[in-house]
Amino acid sequence: MRIAVCLSDTKPEPWVEALQAALPGAQVQMWSPGLAAADHAVVWAPPQQFVDEQPHLKAMFNIGAGVDAIMKLRLPPGLQVVRLDDAGMSVQMAEYVCHALIRHFREFDVYETEARQGRWVFRKPLERADFPVGIMGLGVLGERVARAVRQFEFPVLGWSRTPKAIDGVRTFAGEARLGDFLVATRVLVNLLPLTDATRGILNRTTLSALRPGGYLIHIARGGHLVEEDLIPLIDSGRLAGATLDVFQQEPLPAEHPFWRHPKITVTPHASARTLRRETIAQIADKIGRLERGEPIAGVVDPARGY
């Protein structure tokens, strides 16, 4: 069994070494043009040349949760694209969202500003009931985030393409219920996959539908947000602010106005990083299952794009 590793913007050698240790009976190689045909591939944002040179792959394993970069490629029919189920990412996402939510709700950003000015000012506590948190996307990551937020006793809502049931979460499903979800939400958390249907879904219309004083926590993909719509909504007072981890262009250009806006917090696509040990264990297990003819979780539906 041959496994090809093709990782853009990621050092491949540690992955090759760890995969070889996890699958000692396999031949694991770092991809370069002309590499012999492989049975499986472990990738991150592979070029079209890699796909074209490997037309007989059984499965392509993505080392991140989002597969939008792969789905843009011309893929051979029958190739299974497999995304991570979790591999340590959901707890990181939950940490990030809870931190951003509580920082906004408790006005710690205001306290930080006043502390730098040497000001000792008490702020009246706010009511959690006035800050319903709406989570767009209720897959493995979204469900974990919803459960974490619920522990802090905020009202939690969720919206997904198909119906989901999560204890303590008021759920909405389908395009017809998106409006109902938005008008009931004050803090909006985006965890949707990026597809043709969701590109640009965070825009002037949808963000204006949030409850007054709405706040955006955006940690999915840069393509979801129509960036030029955000600052006017904040400056007009329609939105209270935003915490943004993903952008149309990454790294975010130094001249971009998001860096300097006082009500926007920017982080460098750091809400959840791939944990190599957990990821390799998951991929090795799935390769073993495929080789034994067993079903696996995480296979992407090409029609849906995730």
Residues with catalytic function: 221, 269
Can you tell me whether residue 168 is helix, strand or coil? coil
Of 70, 68, 58, 63, nearest in space to 84 by CA? 63
Which tokens hold the place of 96? 């990030």
> Is 218 buried (19+), middle (13-18) or exposed (0-12) by CB count in 10 A?
buried
Cβ–Cβ < 8 Å for 137, 188:
no
**Whole-number Å distance between alpha carbons of 249 and 185:** 28
* Backbone phi, psi, residue 144, to 5°: -65, -40
Chain center to CA of 181: 20
What is the DSSP annotation of 80-119?
Answer: EEE--S-TTHHHHHHHHHHHHHHHHHTTHHHHHHHHHTT-
- Residue in the structure block whose two tokens are 């390769």: 287
Of 87, 43, 59, nearest in space to 288 by CA? 59
What dihedral do alpha carbons 8, 49, 195, 273 form, nearest 10°?
-10
What dihedral do alpha carbons 112, 116, 121, 124 form, nearest 10°?
-10
- Residue in the structure block whose two tokens are 């944990």: 275
**Whole-number Å distance between alpha carbons of 280 and 259:** 35
**Whole-number Å distance between alpha carbons of 78 and 282:** 22
